[in-house]
């Protein structure tokens, strides 16, 4: 089993705890709610079609409110170097999350250019999608294993969809990995039990409306993940 939290890759949970990432924060109140719930990662979405999209300036203001010890993640989709230059110059970040159709070669390019750990999201619907996990684990610092979006979906993630968790139950990929896709306060404990994951990610599952985070659901999600 690889070391889960290498320097600069994430924040260390207490022994035996599941690490939690709350993605799609858009307000200072969201940051405070996530910090109060004792999550390990916060995610800022840079994708205009998403109801959770933030500008670079908004993300900067949010990031400086994040307490020490919580990793700040930028979610981008097929981003150009120019856009990544803009984000990384303005926003204090710990991780870049690539949530588009970036190739393994592109993942390596981004790691080399920015010197930040890279998390690559990989969509899974059935067994035919599993080889991609091995391909990206060879170049990424972490994997985010998400439900594969439907064809012609507007969003690459954050759709509230899950996949058959048995496909990845007990698997190891050579790098730390995080489970996403359709997780909620109601099912996260079962997801952790079934897959053996040590990290989980949620966005729409802790919202009262698209893009509107619910502090009570955030607290319940973190508690459920660690139960």
Question: Is 126 a known active-site residue?
Answer: no
Distance CA(32)–CA(107), nearest Å, equals 31
Question: Is 214 a known active-site residue?
Answer: no
Among 23, 30, 141, 201, the active-site one is: 23
Q: Give the count of beta carbons closer than 10 Å to the beta carbon of residue 121.
A: 24
137: which 2 tokens? Answer: 């684990």
Angle at 107 between CA 71 and CA 141, to 5 degrees: 40
Among 30, 94, 141, 146, the active-site one is: 146
Distance CA(124)–CA(138), nearest Å, equals 18
Angle at 142 between CA 188 and CA 226, to 5 degrees: 25
Catalytic residue ranges: 23, 146
């Amino acid at each position: 089993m690889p070391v889960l939290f290498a320097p600069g890759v994430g924040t260390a949970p207490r022994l035996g705890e599941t690490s939690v990432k709350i993605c799609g924060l858009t307000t200072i109140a969201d940051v405070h709610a996530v910090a109060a719930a004792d999550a390990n990662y916060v995610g800022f979405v840079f994708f205009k079609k998403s109801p959770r999209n933030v500008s670079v300036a908004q993300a900067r203001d949010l990031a400086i409110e994040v307490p020490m010890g919580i990793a700040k993640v930028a979610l981008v989709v097929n981003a150009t170097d120019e856009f990544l230059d803009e984000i990384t110059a303005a926003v204090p970040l710990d991780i870049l999350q690539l949530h588009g159709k970036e190739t393994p070669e592109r993942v390596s390019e981004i790691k080399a250019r920015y010197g930040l750990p890279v998390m690559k999201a990989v969509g899974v619907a059935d067994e035919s999608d599993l080889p991609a996990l091995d391909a990206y684990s060879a170049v990424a610092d972490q994997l985010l294993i998400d439900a594969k979006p439907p064809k012609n979906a507007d969003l690459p993630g954050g759709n509230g969809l899950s996949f058959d968790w048995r496909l990845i139950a007990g698997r190891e990929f050579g790098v730390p990995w995080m489970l996403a896709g359709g997780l909620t306060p109601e099912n996260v404990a079962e997801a952790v039990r079934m897959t053996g994951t040590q990290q989980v990610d949620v966005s729409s599952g802790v919202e009262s409306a698209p893009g509107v985070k619910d502090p009570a659901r955030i607290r319940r999600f973190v508690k459920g993940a660690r139960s």
